[in-house]
Amino acid sequence: MKTILVLSVAVLTLAACAEREQTASGIKSDAAPFQGTNRQFMAKGWKPGDRNSWEQELKVRTVQGQNDYVKVP
Amino acid sequence: MARMKFICDSERCIECNGCVTACKNEHEVPWGVNRRRVVTLNDGVPGEKSISVACMHCSDAPCMAVCPTNTFYRTEEGVVLHDKDTCIGCGYCSYACPFGAPQFPAAGTFGVRGKMDKCTFCAGGPEANGSQAEFEKYGRNRLAEGKLPACAEMCSTKALLAGDGDVVADIFRNRVVKRGKGAEVWGWGTAYGSKQAGQPNGAKS
């Protein structure tokens, strides 16, 4: 009985010395941005999940927002 | 889709730091960390030039090459992102980066380096797009909202251009043709290869 008690105490105390499980994986997969988000701040004019419409939206946004030569001829 | 790229037009940058403020606000970046900053060359000398600098999302990113935990990854759009869960804060990326992009929050009594933080091209991280976890670690994911990086969209003089490399290069080319000068794109040679840099022969970017 005494032996079992000593062994169980030893197992419990030594368990703290065990190596922690390493669950961190290398590179996680990241969802493509054209999948969109579920938030209400999405830009209008494109359909989440449709890569072409997302690309088009960004292109239009770049040209209209950043090319001032299209605003002032 | 071509690759996402930044261009900073030094002929237009007026050192207003609007891009820095937009970035800090959009992503709620903590004190001591600046994902983007404005650098002025020859400050105070007539003809001084300012440029807005952040991660350029290099084609052959040195940070990716030196990271011992393989924490960086590149998206299909050419955006270089990292996973804060695997970052050990060693700082190798900081030494390797030619733009000084990686930032380390100095949290704790002894100024121990925390997990690296850098510009994400407003594309978040590996967590679910638009999730709270993604926001807390990497900031807003504007790209997944169909928007461009906040720094470029907020730039008052449109010195900082961000978006599809082909489109922003077209916008910049048009400007250079109209004004007849300022073809040098700072950092492009380093980030995307000297062939695309638009630099005069032998010039460093």
Pairing of strands B49-53, B37-41: antiparallel
Q: Is residue A68 within 8 angstroms of chain B, CB to CB?
A: yes
Q: How many CA atoms lie within 13 A of B141 on its CB side?
A: 30
pLDDT band at A34 (very low <50, low <70, confident <90, very high): very high
Domains in chain B with CATH codes? 4-196 (3.30.70.20)
Model confidence, pTM? 0.84
Please tell me the predicted confidence (pLDDT) of residue B108.
64
Mean pLDDT of B20-45: 94
Average pLDDT over residues B148-174: 95
Which of B1, B75, B141 faces A37 most closely, judged by CB atoms?
Answer: B141
Question: Does B158 touch chain A if contact means CB atoms closer than 8 Å?
Answer: yes
Please tell me the number of Cα atoms within 13 Å of A25 on its side-chain side: 5
Contact B117, B35 (CB under 8 A): yes
Q: Judging by beta carbons within 10 Å of its beta carbon (0-12, 13-18, 19+), is residue B11 exposed, middle or buried?
A: middle
Nearest chain A residue to B88 by CA distance is A24
Say which DSSP state A49 is in.
T
* B198: confidence class by pLDDT, cuts 50, 70, 90: very low
| Contact by Cβ (8 Å): B70, B79 | no
**Which residues of chain B make contact with A24, given a CB cutoff of 8 A?**
85-86
Residue B92 has pLDDT above 80, yes or no: yes
Q: Does A31 touch chain B (CB under 8 A)?
A: yes
Q: Does residue B145 surpass a pLDDT of 90?
A: yes
Res B136 pLDDT > 90: yes
Lowest mean pLDDT among A10-14, A54-58, B101-105, B142-146: A10-14
- CB contacts, 8 Å: B143 with chain A: 33, 58
The answer to whether the CB atoms of A33 and B148 lie below 8 A apart is no
* ipTM of the complex, rounded to two decimals: 0.86
| Selection from B76, B79, B47 nearest residue B61 by Cα | B79
Q: CB atoms < 10 A from the CB of B201, how many? A: 4
Residues ≥6 apart with Cβ < 8 Å to B108: B114
Q: What confidence tier does B196 reach under pLDDT thresholds 50, 70, 90? A: very low
What type of residue sits at position B68?
Answer: P
